[in-house]
Amino acid sequence: MSTTSSALLTPELMAQLERLELVSRKIFRGRLKGERRSSRKGQSVEFADFRNYVPGDDLRFIDWNTYARLDRLFLKLFFEEEDLHFYALIDASPSMDFGTPTKLHYAKQLAAALGFVGLVRADRVRIETLGQPAARHAPVFRGRQSAWRMAQYLDTIEPNESGSLASGVKNFCIRNPGKGIVVLISDLMDKQGYDTALKYLLSQQMDVYVIQTLSAEEMHPEIKGDLKLVDCEDQDIAEISASVPLLQRYQKTLAAFVEGAREFCSRRGMNYLLAHNELPVDQLIASYLRKRGLVR
Amino acid sequence: MSIVNMLNWWQWSLLAAVPPAIVLLYFLKLKRQPLEVPSTFLWHKSIEDLHVNSIWQRLHTSILLLLQILLIVVAILALLRPGWRGSQLSGDRFVFLIDNSASMSSTDIKPTRLDEAKRRVAELVQQMKAGDVAMIVSFSDSARIEQLFTDNRRELERQLVTIRPTNRATRLGEALRVAAGLANPGRALEVSETQVVEGLPATVYILSDGRFPDVEGFSLGKLKPVFVPIGEPAAPNVGIIAFSTRPREDKKDQLQAFARLENFGPDDLTAQVELYRDDSLADASQVELKAHGSGGVVFELGDVHSAVLRLRTLSGGALRADDEAWTTVDPPTRSKVLLVTPGDEALELALATESARELADVETAKPEALDTKEYQRKAAEGHYTLVIYDQCQPKQLPQADTLFIGGLPPGGAWSALAKAAAPQIIDVETAHPLMQLIDLGNVRFAEALPLKPPPGNTILISADAGPLFAIGPRDGFEDAVLGGEIVGTNEKGERYANTDWPLRLSFPVFILNALSYFGEATSPGATNVEPGHAIMLRSAGAADSLRVVSPSGKAVVLKRERGEAFNFSDTDELGVYAVEEANHPLRHFAVNLFDSAESNIEPRQDVQIGYNKVTGETTWQGARQELWKLLLLGALVLLLGEWYIYNRRAYL
C-alpha cells in the first residue's frame, strides 16, 4: 500500500472497519452472490422459512419430507446471500481543496473507509467523482485484495474538476442505473442549489447518504478587517467588513443552509450527515454513521 | 474657559479637512485584503441585507469610523489648548524671588506659606512659553540663587522643590540686587564668569508676606516688579520676642527670667506660657495680650547656677518658630584681665573696686613681663579676656581684646600725629557701650596723641586735634586706643598726671564699662544669637578645637585657625547649642528668633522699593488649568478602544 493511501487508511482504522459491514435498508438484487444475507429469500445453505407451494414454483425447493408426512406441498425457503453495490460519489471541485486536512482529503478518507468496509464484505465498490464525464466508468473494486487499488485510485483524484453539482449527479445516475448505496460526499456549496442534484439521486431508487463536509474555516470563519472574498471556483467577489453582526449573520445563514439540506434529505428518505474536517473519520464512521444505519 | 490658538488659519483649514477625509477614505476603502474562500455562496447570502449599499446604514453600523472621527475631533480640541484662564505671565524673562524667611513657615496657609509660594511659582513656571527664561532666587536675610536663567522648566521645578524654610529675618534688598545684577548687567554683581546675560527687561515676581524693611536706595532699572503677598491677613500669632535672665536687683544671687510676648493677631487673648528648666516644667503663667499689643512675664528662678531654660507659649498661632524661646544660665566666669603698667595708681584703684572685682580677675604686671614666655604663651592662647597696656607696647598683639592707654598697638595699622598739647574734647560717642553714662565735659588732658585709626574703627572721643579714643576690630577681637596717658613720664623720668580724669566720677564708670563690655563675650547667659548669624567662641584653656552640639544633636568640631578665636556660623536651627572643650561642657548659647518683624505675620499689601510702591496682586487666579492633556488622554483611550474593537471585531 502506498504512503498516501496509508494516510487514507491507517491499520488501526482498517482493523476497526473490518468488524463493520454496510447496511442497506432497501432490497437490492445483487449481480453476484455475496456474503450479504439479503432480506430476499434465495439460494443459500441457511434455512429461512416454509411456504405453500403455488403452481409454477421451482420443484427443486419442495420439501419432500414434509410432503411425506403431511401430504401437502411446502416450499423450503433459504436466505439469499448477495453482494451490495456501494457507490461513493466525491465532489472534487476546487472548493473542496480547503481546510486542514482539506475537505477533499477528508472525503477521500471517508470514501476509502466506507469502501474498505464494502470490500471486506465482498461488496461491489465503485468510487466516482462529480466531474467525471458521463461515458467514463470508474473501476469497480471487489474483495479485500482490491483495497490498495481502491486507495491508489483515490489518490489520483485531484480537486480540479469543474461542473455543477446537478450535472455531476446526473452523469452518475446515467452511468449507474442499478440499485445500491450511494454516499455523496460534497460541501453542497453550489450556487444553483443542491436540490436538483439530490432529486436525481432520489429517482435512482438508491439508498442515498449525503455527507456534507465543511471545513472549520467555513463553520467558524476567523476573519477580521475589511476583506474582499474571492470565490475559488468562479472568482466571484464578495466585499465584506468583518463584524460581529456579519459573523452572526453568517452563522445563521450557515445553520439555515445546513438545516435546509437536512430537512430536504429527511423529507425524501435520504440520510443527511454534516461532517467537518476536524472530526476523525473513524469516529465519524463508528458513531455517527452507525447511528444513521449505514454501517453496523 | 479660554482658548489659546496654537495654529495658523491654513493649519486649521488643513486640520478641518481631516474628518471629511477620514469619511471619504472610509467609503473608498482603498485597501481591501483579498482572501480566497471555498465559496462566497454563504457570504453573499449573509451580507445581502448588510449590503443594501446605503451610505448611512453603513455609517450607522461603523463604530470604528465614529471613533476615528471622535479621535480626530478630540485631537483638534487639544490643539486649541483650552483651559481656564489663570494669572498671565507677562514678558519673557522672569525672576522669581521666593521669601523663605521665618515668617514664611506660618501655617495660616496650608501647609505653609513657603509651600504656597512654591506652588504659585510652579504654576507660573508651567505657563512659561517656549523660549521664556526664568531665574529662581530664595531670600531671607541673604539671597541665594537657586537657579540661574534657564528655559528648562523641569530644572526650574526641580530647584523649586529644594528651597527649604529658614528661621532667618527678611531683607529684600540683596535679592533684588541679585535679580538686577543678572537682569541689568553693569551693576556691580558678579555671579559667575561664564554667565553672560544681556541687559533685557525682566519681570520680578516677589512672593513674600512683605515682612521686610522697605528697600531704600534701589532703582529697579529694567525690572518690572510684581508683588504677590502670601498669607492670611487675619492670621493669629503670638510670639516671644524677648527672653533673658538677670540677677535680682535686691538679691544678686537670685535669678529672674524675663520674657516679652507680643500678640500680632487681631483679637485680644490670654497667652499661656510655660517655663521649662532642663526640660522639666518649672513654672507656668498667663499673659494678657491685647490685639497688636505686648506683655511681659517674670519668673523667679531662685539660686540657679547652671540651667537651660525653655519658654513655650501654648497659644502660639500660625508661626511656630516664635512659640518657643531658650536661654541659658551658665556658671559665672569672670573675665581675666591683665594690666601691664609701669605703675598707675588711678588705674589700679579703679580696677580694684568691688564692682570691678565682681566682673573680672585682674592681674597686674610690669612691662618687663611682656618678654616672659609665660606671658607670651597666655597671650597667644587667649587666656586673657582683656589686656590693658598702660604706657607700653607688646611686640605682638595678644589673642584678647586690648585697651591701650597712651600707646599704639604694634603692627602699624594704628598711627598717630605728633603729640598735641591740651586737646579739647569736642564729642563723646555715648551711644557706644564703652562710653555709656560718661560725661567728659570736665576732663582735660595735658597732652595726647591725635590718633589715625585704621578704617572701620569707631571714634569714641573726638578732640580738636583729632580722635582721642577709638575702638576697632581685629580678627575676632577689638582694640581700643586712648591717645592720652593717665600718668605721663617726662624726659627726666619723673611721673606726672597727664589728665584729671581719674578725679572725675566718669573714670571708674569707664573702667567698669570697659570690663563689662570686653567681658561680655565671656558671660554667655545673656548671649542670644540671631538665626544664621555667626557667634565667636573662646576656649577656656588652650584647646585647639571646640565641639558645638546643635539642638538636634548635630555636632560640629571647630578648629582654631591662626591662633584666633573660634567662629561658629551654623546657627540656622533654633534652640540651645552646647559648646564643649575637650569633652567638658564649656558654655551654652541660645539661638532665638526674637524678631517682631518676622513674628508679625500679617502680610503687607504693598512694598516700597526705592521710589516705587509695588502694590500686591490681591487676587490670585491660579495657574491656567490646561485641558489639552486630558483631551489627549481621552484621545488615547479612544485609540485604545478602537484598537480593541478592531481586534475583537466587537463593534456593535
pLDDT at A69: 93
**Residue A14, domain member (yes or no):** yes
Question: Looking at chain B, which residue has its C-alpha nearest residue A239?
Answer: B32
Asked if A121 and A199 sit in the same domain, the reply is yes
Q: For the segment B2-58, what is each residue's pLDDT rounded down to a tens digit?
A: 666 667 788 888 888 888 887 777 666 556 778 888 888 888 877 775 655 445 555
pLDDT at A259: 93
- Contact between chains at A243 and B46 (C-beta distance less than 8 A): no
Same-fold call for B335-522 versus B524-591:
no
DSSP character for A144? G
Confidence band, pLDDT 50/70/90 cuts, at residue B652 = very low
Q: Residue B80's closest CA among B32, B12, B126? A: B12
Cross-chain CB nearest to B37 (options A232, A253, A254): A232
Residue A120 contacts residue A17 (beta carbons within 8 Å): yes
Class of domain B335-522: alpha beta
Please give the mean pLDDT across all residues of chain B: 81
Q: Which of A20-24, B261-265, B464-468 has the lowest mean pLDDT?
A: A20-24
Q: Does residue A4 register a pLDDT over 50?
A: no
Asked if A119 and A44 sit in the same domain, the reply is no
Q: How far is the C-alpha of B353 from the C-alpha of A65, rounded, in Å?
A: 178
Confidence band, pLDDT 50/70/90 cuts, at residue B470 = very high
Q: Describe the crossing of helices A147-155 and A103-120 by its angle, rounded to 10 degrees.
A: 160
Instruction: Establish if A222 touches chain B: CB-CB under 8 angstroms.
Output: no
Q: How far is the C-alpha of B268 from the C-alpha of B334, rounded, in Å?
A: 44
Minimal Cα–Cα distance from B14 to chain A, Å?
28
Three-state DSSP at A286 gives: helix
The set of cell numbers assigned to B250 is 535686691
Substitution target from A96, A243, A274 for chain B, most B beta carbons within 10 A: A243
- Contact between chains at A249 and B46 (C-beta distance less than 8 A): yes
- Contact between chains at B42 and A189 (C-beta distance less than 8 A): yes
| SS percent in chain A: helix, strand, coil, step 5 | 40, 25, 35
Strand A124-129 to strand A85-90: parallel, antiparallel, or no bridges (unpaired)?
parallel
- What is the rounded radius of gyration, in angstroms, for the C-alpha atoms of chain B? 38
CA distances from B485 to B433, B496, B500, B570 (A): 22, 10, 11, 42
Q: Cell match 450527515: residue?
A: A273
Asked if A90 and A207 sit in the same domain, the reply is yes
Contacts of A193 in chain B (CB under 8 A): none
A131 phi/psi in degrees, rounded to 5: -80, -5
In this structure, is the dihedral angle defined by the CA atoms of residues A47, A49, A53 and A56, taken in order, positive or negative?
negative
Three-state DSSP at B258 gives: strand
pLDDT at A241: 74
Asked if A134 and A41 sit in the same domain, the reply is no
CA A278, A280, A282: angle at the middle one, nearest 5? Answer: 165
Asked if A154 and A136 sit in the same domain, the reply is yes
- Contact between chains at A230 and B46 (C-beta distance less than 8 A): no
Mean pLDDT value across residues B501-529? 77
Minimal Cα–Cα distance from A76 to chain B, Å?
58
A272 phi/psi in degrees, rounded to 5: -120, 140
- Contact between chains at B34 and A227 (C-beta distance less than 8 A): yes
Q: For the segment B316-352, what is each residue's pLDDT rounded down to a tens digit?
A: 788 888 888 988 887 766 788 899 988 888 888 888 8
Q: Residue B572's closest CA among B258, B140, B269? A: B140
Asked if the bond preceding A101 is cis, omega within 30° of 0, the reply is yes
The set of cell numbers assigned to B324 is 518657643
pLDDT at B469: 92
Residue partners of B111: CB distance under 8 A and separation at least 6: none
**Residue A68, domain member (yes or no):** yes
Which region holds residue B491: left if phi is over 0, alpha if psi is between -120 and 50, else beta?
alpha
Task: Indicate the CATH number of B524-591 among 1.25.40, 1.10.10, 2.60.40, 1.10.3470.
Answer: 2.60.40
- Contact between chains at B47 and A249 (C-beta distance less than 8 A): yes
Minimal Cα–Cα distance from A196 to chain B, Å?
17
More confident residue, B647 or B282: B282
Asked if A120 and A48 sit in the same domain, the reply is no
The alpha-helical segments, DSSP class H, found in A144-204 are: 147-155, 165-175, 195-203
**Residue A262, domain member (yes or no):** no
Strand B458-463 to strand A237-241: parallel, antiparallel, or no bridges (unpaired)?
unpaired
Q: What are B345-353's contacts with CB under 8 Å, separation 24+?
A: B345/B487, B346/B486, B346/B487, B346/B502, B346/B507, B347/B388, B347/B390, B347/B405, B347/B486, B347/B502, B347/B511, B349/B502, B350/B502, B350/B507, B350/B508, B350/B511, B351/B511, B351/B515, B353/B508, B353/B511, B353/B512
Question: Looking at chain B, which residue has its C-alpha nearest residue A248?
Answer: B46
Q: How far is the C-alpha of A201 from the C-alpha of A88, rounded, in Å?
A: 12
- Contact between chains at B38 and A189 (C-beta distance less than 8 A): yes
Asked if A91 and A137 sit in the same domain, the reply is yes
- What is the rounded radius of gyration, in angstroms, for the C-alpha atoms of chain A? 23
Q: How far is the C-alpha of B458 from the C-alpha of B460, rounded, in Å?
A: 6
- Contact between chains at B47 and A189 (C-beta distance less than 8 A): no
Q: Please give the residue range of the domain that contains residue A163.
A: 3-27+83-214+270-292
Q: Distance between terminal CA atoms of chain B?
A: 36
Q: For the segment B142-197, what is each residue's pLDDT rounded down to a tens digit?
A: 888 888 888 888 888 899 999 989 888 888 888 888 888 776 655 444 444 445 44
- Contact between chains at A230 and B34 (C-beta distance less than 8 A): yes
Instruction: Establish if A244 touches chain B: CB-CB under 8 angstroms.
Output: yes
Asked if A44 and A19 sit in the same domain, the reply is no
CA distances from B163 to B118, B150, B296 (A): 8, 17, 36
Q: Does residue B59 register a pLDDT over 80?
A: no
Q: Does residue B357 register a pLDDT over 80?
A: yes
Cross-chain CB nearest to A238 (options B40, B647, B650): B40
Q: How far is the C-alpha of B178 from the C-alpha of B184, rounded, in Å?
A: 10
H or E element: which one contains B349? helix B345-351
In this structure, is the dihedral angle defined by the CA atoms of residues B150, B156, B160 and B161, taken in order, positive or negative?
negative
Minimal Cα–Cα distance from B156 to chain A, Å?
49
The set of cell numbers assigned to B328 is 541659658
Domain ranges of chain B: 2-85+628-648, 93-233+603-623, 238-323, 335-522, 524-591
H or E element: which one contains B355? helix B354-359
Contacts of B43 in chain A (CB under 8 A): 229, 238, 240, 250
Q: Does residue A3 register a pLDDT over 50?
A: no
Residue A59 contacts residue A101 (beta carbons within 8 Å): no
Q: Which of A23-32, A151-160, A183-192, B236-245 has the lowest mean pLDDT?
A: A23-32
Q: Count Cβ atoms below 10 Å from residue B300 Cβ, excluding itself.
A: 10
Residue B105 contacts residue B165 (beta carbons within 8 Å): yes
Q: How far is the C-alpha of B223 from the C-alpha of B183, rounded, in Å?
A: 7
DSSP A6-63: HHHS-HHHHHHHTT--B--SS----SS--SEEEEEEEEEEEEEEEEE--TTS-GGGB-
- Contact between chains at A232 and B36 (C-beta distance less than 8 A): yes
Asked if A49 and A151 sit in the same domain, the reply is no
Cross-chain CB nearest to B46 (options A217, A244, A250): A250
**Residue A208, domain member (yes or no):** yes
Question: Looking at chain B, which residue has its C-alpha nearest residue A237?
Answer: B40
Q: How far is the C-alpha of B612 from the C-alpha of B609, rounded, in Å?
A: 5
Asked if A49 and A97 sit in the same domain, the reply is no
Q: For the segment A49-86, what is each residue's pLDDT rounded down to a tens digit?
A: 888 888 888 888 888 999 999 999 998 887 666 667 88
In this structure, is the dihedral angle defined by the CA atoms of residues B444, B448, B452 and B458, taken in order, positive or negative?
negative
Minimal Cα–Cα distance from A212 to chain B, Å?
14
Residue B347 contacts residue B390 (beta carbons within 8 Å): yes
Minimal Cα–Cα distance from B645 to chain A, Å?
10
Q: How far is the C-alpha of B451 from the C-alpha of B469, rounded, in Å?
A: 7
Minimal Cα–Cα distance from B34 to chain A, Å?
4
Contacts of B40 in chain A (CB under 8 A): 229-231, 236-238
Q: How far is the C-alpha of B358 from the C-alpha of B363, rounded, in Å?
A: 14
Asked if A159 and A283 sit in the same domain, the reply is yes
B238-323 in CATH: which number? 2.60.40.10
Q: For the segment A103-114, what is each residue's pLDDT rounded down to a tens digit?
A: 889 899 889 988
Q: Does residue B302 register a pLDDT over 60?
A: yes
Residue B556 contacts residue B550 (beta carbons within 8 Å): yes
- Contact between chains at B652 and A232 (C-beta distance less than 8 A): no
Q: Tell me, what amino acid is at A71?
A: D
Q: Does residue B204 register a pLDDT over 80?
A: yes
Cross-chain CB nearest to B40 (options A225, A229, A242): A229
Q: Does residue A203 register a pLDDT over 70?
A: yes
Q: Describe the crossing of helices B113-127 and B153-161 by its angle, rounded to 10 degrees.
A: 180
More confident residue, B559 or A150: A150
- Contact between chains at A240 and B43 (C-beta distance less than 8 A): yes
* Contact residues, chain B to chain A, C-beta under 8 Å: 29, 31-47, 49-50, 61-62, 646-647, 649-652
B374 phi/psi in degrees, rounded to 5: -60, -45
Cross-chain CB nearest to B39 (options A224, A231, A249): A231
Query: How would you write A83-97 as a 3-class SS string?
Result: CCEEEEEECCCHHHC
Minimal Cα–Cα distance from A284 to chain B, Å?
23
Substitution target from B37, B51, B61 for chain A, most A beta carbons within 10 A: B37
Confidence band, pLDDT 50/70/90 cuts, at residue B533 = confident
Substitution target from A220, A223, A240 for chain B, most B beta carbons within 10 A: A240
CA B278, B358, B429: angle at the middle one, nearest 5? Answer: 100
Confidence band, pLDDT 50/70/90 cuts, at residue B212 = confident
CATH of the domain at A111: 3.40.50
Cross-chain CB nearest to A231 (options B37, B46, B647): B37
Substitution target from A246, A251, A258, A274 for chain B, most B beta carbons within 10 A: A246
Asked if A47 and A112 sit in the same domain, the reply is no
Mean pLDDT value across residues B437-459? 87
Specify the fold of B93-233+603-623: Rossmann fold (3.40.50)
Would you say how long chain A is, in residues? 296
Q: Which of A8-22, B384-398, B442-456 has the lowest mean pLDDT?
A: A8-22
Residue A109 contacts residue A281 (beta carbons within 8 Å): yes
Confidence band, pLDDT 50/70/90 cuts, at residue B526 = low
Last residue of a domain, one of A48, A82, A116: A82
Q: Tell me, what amino acid is at B35?
A: L
Would you say how long chain B is, in residues? 652
**Residue A236, domain member (yes or no):** no
- Contact between chains at B37 and A189 (C-beta distance less than 8 A): no
Question: Looking at chain A, which residue has its C-alpha nearest residue B33?
Answer: A227
Instruction: Establish if A217 touches chain B: CB-CB under 8 angstroms.
Output: yes
Question: Looking at chain B, which residue has its C-alpha nearest residue A257?
Answer: B42
The set of cell numbers assigned to B450 is 591725635
- Look up the ipTM and state it: 0.77
Burial of residue B434 (number of CB atoms within 10 Å: 0-12, 13-18, 19+): buried
DSSP B162-223: T---------HHHHHHHHHHHHSBTBS--S-SS-------EEEEEEE---SPPB-S---TTE
**Residue A230, domain member (yes or no):** no
Minimal Cα–Cα distance from A264 to chain B, Å?
18
Q: Does residue B524 register a pLDDT over 60?
A: no
Residue A230 contacts residue B39 (beta carbons within 8 Å): no
The set of cell numbers assigned to B365 is 604686671
Q: Which of B3-7, B74-78, B120-124, B199-203 has the lowest mean pLDDT?
A: B3-7
Substitution target from B42, B51, B57, B59 for chain A, most A beta carbons within 10 A: B42
Cross-chain CB nearest to A189 (options B36, B41, B61): B41
Residue partners of B451: CB distance under 8 A and separation at least 6: B408, B414, B415, B416, B466, B467, B468, B469, B470, B481, B483
Burial of residue B56 (number of CB atoms within 10 Å: 0-12, 13-18, 19+): exposed
> How many CB contacts within 8 angstroms connect chain A with chain B?
103
Contacts of A253 in chain B (CB under 8 A): 42, 45-46
Count of structural domains within chain A: 2
Residue B509 contacts residue B435 (beta carbons within 8 Å): no
Cross-chain CB nearest to A228 (options B34, B50, B61): B34
Q: For the segment B134-156, what is each residue's pLDDT rounded down to a tens digit?
A: 889 999 888 888 888 888 888 88
Q: Residue A200's closest CA among A249, A122, A130, A142? A: A130
